[in-house]
C-alpha cells in the first residue's frame, strides 16, 4: 500500500512537471508569434490549449483520488495541497497564452509600434519568473522561489509604465487608440502571468519549508 501511495505521488508530480513544460512552451510560442506577427503560430497556440485543460482535469482527479483513498500527513499532505494550487495556476497561465495569441492578428498592422514599447522586456521577465517558479518546484529550491517573489515588483512597475505611455499615445495619436488598447490589455495579462508565477513560488516555499509566505513587502517575506 505504501509503495502504491509513493507511486501515485510520483505520478502526480510528474504530471505537474509535464503540464508546466507544456504551459511554458505555450507561453513561449505566444510571445514569439506576438512580436513576430506570426498568425499561423498564434492559431496553433489557441488550438493546443485543449492539452492544458486535459492535464488540469487529470491532475485534479489524481489529487482527489489520493485524498479519498489515503490519509496523507506532513510533507505528503503539503505536496497534495501545493499540487492542487499549482495546477490551478498553470491552467490560468495556459489561458493567458491563448489571450496573448488572440491579440496577434489585430496588432500585425502595428508591429513597429508594438516593438517600440517595453512589452517585450516585460514578457521576457514574466517568462523567466514562470520558468524559475517551475524549476523551484522540480528541485524543491525555496531560494529560487524567493527570487521569483522579488521579480514581481519589476513587472508591476513595467505594467504601470506601459499603461501611462499608452494613455499618452491615445491622447496624441488617435489612429493608435485601438493598438494601444490591445497593448494595455496585453500588459495586464503579463502582469497576471507574473502573479501566477509568484503564487507558485509561494506554494513551493510552503511545500519545502512548511511556512506560508504572502505578499513581498519592501523585499522582506511576510510569514
pLDDT at 215: 56
Q: What number of helices (H) and strands (E) belong to the chain?
A: 8, 0
Environment class of 220 (CB within 10 Å of its CB; exposed 0-12, middle 13-18, buried 19+): exposed
Taking CA atoms, 156 is separated from 41, 100, 125, in Å, by 28, 18, 11
What is the CA angle 114-109-117, rounded to 5? 5
Q: State the Cα–Cα distance between residues 221 and 65, nearest whole angstrom.
A: 34
Looking at the structure of the chain, the number of domains it has is 1
In a domain, 214, yes or no: no
Count of other CB atoms within 10 angstroms of residue 130: 25
In a domain, 218, yes or no: no
Residue 73 and residue 2 in contact, taking contact as beta carbons nearer than 8 Å: no
In a domain, 20, yes or no: yes
pLDDT at 211: 84
- Three-state DSSP at 220 gives strand
Task: Identify the residue whose cell numbers are 500588459.
Answer: 187
DSSP state of 118: S
Helices 74-102 + 119-139 axis angle, to 10: 160
In a domain, 115, yes or no: yes
Closest to 152 measured CA to CA, from 84, 214, 87, 79: 214
Q: What's the domain range around 81?
A: 2-209
pTM exceeds cut of 0.85: yes
Distance of CA 97 to the CA centre of its chain: 9
The CATH number for 194's domain is: 1.20.58.220
For 93, how many CA atoms within 13 A lie in the half-sphere containing its CB?
Answer: 37
- Tens digits of pLDDT across the chain (223 residues): 566 778 889 999 999 999 999 999 999 999 999 999 999 999 999 999 999 999 999 999 999 998 888 877 787 889 999 999 999 999 999 999 999 999 999 999 999 999 999 999 999 999 999 999 999 999 999 999 999 999 999 999 999 999 999 999 999 999 999 999 999 999 999 999 999 999 999 999 999 998 888 754 434 444 3
In a domain, 45, yes or no: yes
pLDDT at 1: 53
The set of cell numbers assigned to 35 is 512580436
* H/E element, 109: none
In a domain, 217, yes or no: no
Rounded CA Rg of the chain: 19
pLDDT at 222: 41
In a domain, 134, yes or no: yes
In a domain, 110, yes or no: yes
Residues 6+ apart with CB under 8 A from 197: 89, 93, 126, 129, 130, 132, 133, 148, 152
Amino acid at each position: 500500500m505504501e509503495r502504491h501511495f509513493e507511486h501515485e505521488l510520483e505520478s502526480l508530480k510528474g504530471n505537474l512537471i509535464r503540464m508546466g513544460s507544456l504551459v511554458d512552451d505555450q507561453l513561449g510560442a505566444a510571445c514569439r508569434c506576438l512580436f513576430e506577427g506570426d498568425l499561423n503560430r498564434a492559431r496553433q497556440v489557441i488550438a493546443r490549449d485543449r492539452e492544458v485543460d486535459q492535464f488540469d482535469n487529470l491532475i485534479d482527479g489524481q489529487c482527489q483520488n489520493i485524498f479519498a483513498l489515503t490519509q496523507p500527513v506532513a510533507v505528503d499532505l503539503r505536496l497534495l495541497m501545493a499540487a492542487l494550487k499549482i495546477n490551478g495556476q498553470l491552467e490560468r497561465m495556459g489561458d493567458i497564452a491563448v489571450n496573448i495569441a488572440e491579440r496577434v492578428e489585430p496588432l500585425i498592422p502595428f508591429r513597429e509600434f508594438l516593438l517600440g514599447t517595453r512589452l517585450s522586456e516585460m514578457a521576457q521577465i514574466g517568462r523567466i519568473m514562470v520558468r524559475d517558479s517551475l524549476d523551484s518546484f522540480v528541485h524543491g529550491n525555496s531560494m529560487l522561489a524567493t527570487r521569483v517573489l522579488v521579480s514581481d515588483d519589476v513587472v508591476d512597475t513595467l505594467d504601470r509604465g506601459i499603461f501611462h505611455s499608452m494613455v499618452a499615445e491615445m491622447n496624441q495619436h488617435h489612429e493608435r487608440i485601438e493598438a494601444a488598447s490591445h497593448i494595455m490589455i496585453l500588459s495586464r495579462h503579463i502582469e497576471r502571468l507574473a502573479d501566477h508565477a509568484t503564487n507558485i513560488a509561494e506554494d513551493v516555499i510552503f511545500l519545502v519549508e512548511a511556512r506560508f509566505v504572502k505578499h513581498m513587502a519592501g523585499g522582506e517575506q511576510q510569514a
